[in-house]
Structure 1
Amino acid sequence: MTRTTWRAAALAALIGLASIASAAQADTTLTYVGASGQYKVYITPDAVRIDGDGNGWQLYRRADPAIISVSPKDQTYTRLDKNTAGEIRHQMDALRARIENRLQQLPADRRPAARAAMAAKIPGLDGKQQSIGLDHTGATDKVDGISCDVIQIVRGGQPADKICVASADALGLSSDSFGTVKSMFALLRNMLSGTGLEGIGLPYRNLSGMPIRFHDSLSGEQRALAAVSHDAIPSSRFAIPDNYVEQKPEAPSPGN
């Protein structure tokens, strides 16, 4: 899988888990903004679509256990499911072995710096389980008039970014839509297991709601919720054009 596709996985961590009010709406569109622009998260009982800063987007359909990264520019899409995730784990293992072989050819005093440089380019290169946790600060805030709880992210035992999490009740997310979100993140977590990429993004399975203010862990940019809509989302929003060509996902490489 390319670094862009892993970024897609990281973007998916925008959405968390929450208790749901019975009066919530069936469809929900969340619009987030940051310095580089806006992106939208479309949620229905059947599917989730995430539109990023560029023209690419990601798709999950509850009846089809896969996360699909779509590139309108290239008219291609990449499908990541439990089978391709297994292939990527093997590719990552092979990549680590090749890089380690290269490093062993360097003088011993140059290896640490070279290894660190490669690790900065390739997520999960060391293959170690990435730890990520939450520290509930007890503080509250509001974003666009919506109350949220301030939570400290802890990566590798060290404080990282803070996020503000709103309950799905406050956002009007329906229980059926919540079920789809939950199944998507369960799939994502299972696919990342064993890749060394478990710590990317947010610990979404452990959140008690949805982040409405956070820092993008890849760009360093702060993003915040700007609008919530419950207008019906057409099914065409979740359809991949028939002329798009499927590409096989690949593990990250030094050139990605």
Structure 2
Amino acid sequence: MRLQILLVLLIPQAAAFADVEMTFDDGSIGLVRDNMVLFGDAQSAVLFNSRNDELIIISRQDRTWMRVETGLIEAMTAQMQKEMEDILASVPAEQRAMVEEQMQGMLAQEPDTTAAINVRRTGRTDRVAGYDCHEAEVTIDGSSNTELVCIATAEELGISQADYTTLNAAMRGIAEIAAMSPQAGASADLSRMGGIPIRTHNLAQDYRTALTTIAHEAIDSARLAIPAGFKETTLEEMLAQ
């Protein structure tokens, strides 16, 4: 959940690459350096390279990494569906309908990239970590999930247009990963939001997180790379863990 919330907390507007490090009160971070973007925490991270649109999922706990290929979501959905059918086959007939209903909510969903994201300003403003933001309610058509976010401008946060472009490209891939979960946050895709939520409250899960600091000092390139000694894994191996 931490990673999912982090995935929805960045997107910008303003003129050349400048390193950006954002930290949040749940222990997660966001890093931008040249064409590289990393979102993560102590357990996992997502690494994006805007030059080739490569997206990599890193598991710090398992010391593994996986390249996200085209069709990943469809493959995950198909494999999870098969596993669910195998389990249902072993369940007594009188219990099957109940178990199937319970399991359906856990099945990864193919994202609807055409679903409208609705952003409604509440009229309230606030300051988070010293930055001005306006509050908005965010929903997605067809989803019951709602988030209250406080959105700051890129100019307010000192984020450049070049970094905005990089982050926006990263979000296109990241939003697909987030959308695999039925509990995905309403603001998982910020490319249509036009701002940077620096505080988020997911009402369905009562999960809150907020920006604590932004720094623009030079970031060591090693922090935006696959850690040494980590092993590449596959979708099948990841789902088996």
TM category (shorter chain) comes to: 0.7 to 0.9
The one-letter code matched in structure 1 to 2:235 is: P
Structure 1 residues 104, 76: CA separation in 2 closer, same or farther (over 3 Å shift)? closer
Q: What SS does the corresponding residue of 1:187 show, helix, strand or coil?
A: helix
1:6-17 → structure 2 map (5 Å cutoff): 8=3, 11-16=6-11
- In structure 2, how many angstroms separate the alpha carbons of the residues matched to 1:41 and 1:160? 23
1:224-243 → structure 2 map (5 Å cutoff): 224-243=210-229
**Structure 2 residue aligned with 1:99, among 78, 84, 93?**
84
Structure 1 gap segments, 5+ residues each: none
**Structure 2 residue aligned with 1:39, among 18, 22, 28?**
28
Partner of 1:222: 208
Q: What TM-score, normalized by structure 1, do the two folds share?
A: 0.75
Q: What SS does the corresponding residue of 2:159 show, helix, strand or coil?
A: coil
- In structure 2, how many angstroms separate the alpha carbons of the residues matched to 1:174 and 1:237? 20
1:97-176 → structure 2 map (5 Å cutoff): 97-100=82-85, 102-103=87-88, 110-124=95-109, 129=112, 131=115, 133-137=117-121, 138-155=123-140, 156=142, 158=144, 160-176=146-162
Shift of the alpha carbon at 1:32?
Answer: 0.6
Q: What TM-score, normalized by structure 2, do the two folds share?
A: 0.79
Pairing 1:51–2:40 present: yes
Deviations 1:25-64 (A, max 9, x none): 7111111103xxx221111231111231x24332112224
**Structure 1 residue aligned with 2:22, among 30, 33, 42?**
30
Percent identity reads 23
Q: Is the CA contact 1:134–1:151 (under 8 Å) kept in the aligned structure 2?
A: no
- In structure 2, how many angstroms separate the alpha carbons of the residues matched to 1:45 and 1:13? 20
Structure 2 gap segments, 5+ residues each: none
Shift of the alpha carbon at 1:110?
Answer: 3.8
Partner of 2:74: 89
The count of corresponding residues between Structure 1 and Structure 2 is 236
Q: Is the CA contact 2:39–2:46 (under 8 Å) kept in the aligned structure 1?
A: yes
Q: What SS does the corresponding residue of 1:206 show, helix, strand or coil?
A: coil
Q: What SS does the corresponding residue of 2:191 show, helix, strand or coil?
A: helix
Shift of the alpha carbon at 1:101?
Answer: 6.4
Partner of 2:165: 179
Partner of 1:63: 51
With 202-211 and 243-252 compared, the bigger mean Cα shift is at 243-252
Partner of 1:207: 193
- In structure 2, how many angstroms separate the alpha carbons of the residues matched to 1:98 and 1:235? 40
Shift of the alpha carbon at 1:163?
Answer: 0.9
Deviations 1:109-132 (A, max 9, x none): 6444322321343332xx584856
Shift of the alpha carbon at 1:90?
Answer: 3.0
Q: Is the CA contact 1:123–1:252 (under 8 Å) kept in the aligned structure 2?
A: no
